[in-house]
Amino acid sequence: MATAVVSPTQTKKKAWIRRRQDSTAWVRRAVQWGFLALNIWIGVEFWLFVRYYETGGAGIWVDRPAGIEGWLPIASLMNLKLWWATGKVPGVHPAGMFLLLAFVAISLLLRKAFCGWLCPIGTISEYLWRLGRKLFRRNFALPKWADLPLRSLKYILMGLFLYAVGGMSAAAIAFFLEGPYGLIADVKMLNFFRYLSFGGALVIAALVLLSVFVQNFWCRYLCPYGALLGMFSWMSPVRIRRVESKCIDCAKCAHACPSQLAVDKLIQIQSPECLGCYECVVSCPAEGALDMTVVGRRPVPAWAMAAALGVIFFGAVSYARLTGSWYTNVPSDTYFQLVPRANEFGHP
């Protein structure tokens, strides 16, 4: 039986493709881990901040990290409406609003790269399904009849939030955000996780377990933030492009896609489910067959994606800091009064 002879040029080319794939994967991993570490750092700082006020000033004093407001998407949405209606940058939780604007800008330009590169929940979800794949040698996909209606859930949740915030007047938003509940909405969120109820723990355990079996279960079916960003990402000029003449129809890209998109069948991926994660590109063995591109033309290497994410993210943060709009200005006395009694304040 004749054996195929592999020329040194082919071997070199294969090694080059492999190196490019590895570096692409590593660039995204580094950004994901970096952003996760940043969020853990912010979480620890915020916990110390809360403990200081809970203990009447006996704990370690740290500045309140404004980045914690990235975890207050509804307050951020409210502030966006307030800014729009009054023309003034809101004084309570403005950082969350600037972060939301940065993530919308990222989605408009770079697909849902916030979800695929930056979101800590997205990163944890990804490592959970990777763990599932290691344990069971595969992940599981829901049947189409269940997948499609379930996917609409996140859009329904998004619609409900937009409807609720859209229906509030500027005065009602200001009254809410400047009231006790609004001022310490971040502390309430921390307390939700610190003093997790049995029901809450059960829901989180179920989501973790489902995420081990089904790729990105939370993101795919339930995350309203991702749904909102997906709507903007639909307009993004950056998208995956497959070159039919170079494609060898191996379907590895479709198999690698965590959003279960038919990358091997389509020419361009414009779906709002695309995370801009490059997993399909990394898995493609045919040189030049699959790339992240700007309007289907110029390839966008992973380092360029990472750089663009950095420019938009740090650009928004720097703008807010330089214009003095980044920090919530609440006097220390107010925190001393409100933080220890956080659990007394219900939703108005």
Write out the residues near ligand SF4 by the rule CB under 6 A: 240, 242, 247-253, 256-259, 261, 263-264, 269, 274-280, 283-284, 286, 289-290
Burial environment of residue 168 by CB neighbours within 10 A (0 to 12, 13 to 18, 19 or more): middle
Complex with ligand SF4: residue 13 or 194, whichever CB lies closer: 13
Residue 116 beta carbon to ligand SF4: minimum distance, rounded to whole angstroms: 6
Complex with ligand SF4: residue 173 or 269, whichever CB lies closer: 269
Complex with ligand SF4: residue 64 or 239, whichever CB lies closer: 239
Complex with ligand SF4: residue 38 or 250, whichever CB lies closer: 250
Instruction: Check: CB of residue 76 under 8 Å from CB of residue 99.
Output: yes
Beta carbons within 10 angstroms of residue 345's beta carbon: 17
Residues 120 and 47: their CA atoms lie apart, in Å, by: 18
Tokens of 278: 């490059």
Residue 259 beta carbon to ligand SF4: minimum distance, rounded to whole angstroms: 4
Give Rg (Cα) of the chain: 23
Residue 129 beta carbon to ligand SF4: minimum distance, rounded to whole angstroms: 13
Complex with ligand SF4: residue 196 or 267, whichever CB lies closer: 267
Residue 117 beta carbon to ligand SF4: minimum distance, rounded to whole angstroms: 11
Beta carbons within 10 angstroms of residue 36's beta carbon: 18
Cα maximum dimension of the chain? 85
Complex with ligand SF4: residue 128 or 339, whichever CB lies closer: 128
Residues 16 and 114: their CA atoms lie apart, in Å, by: 29
Complex with ligand SF4: residue 93 or 252, whichever CB lies closer: 252
Complex with ligand SF4: residue 204 or 248, whichever CB lies closer: 248
Residues 121 and 226: their CA atoms lie apart, in Å, by: 11
Residue 242 beta carbon to ligand SF4: minimum distance, rounded to whole angstroms: 5
Residue 261 beta carbon to ligand SF4: minimum distance, rounded to whole angstroms: 5
Helix (H) / strand (E) element for 260: namely none
Residue 279 beta carbon to ligand SF4: minimum distance, rounded to whole angstroms: 4
Tokens of 295: 């309007």
SS (HEC) of 153-208: HHHHHHHHHHHHHHCCCHHHHHHHHCCHHHHCHHHHHHHHHHCCCHHHHHHHHHHH
Instruction: Check: CB of residue 275 under 8 Å from CB of residue 258.
Output: yes
SS3 339: helix
Residue 314 beta carbon to ligand SF4: minimum distance, rounded to whole angstroms: 23
Phi, psi of 113 (to 5 degrees): -65, -20
Phi, psi of 290 (to 5 degrees): -145, 130
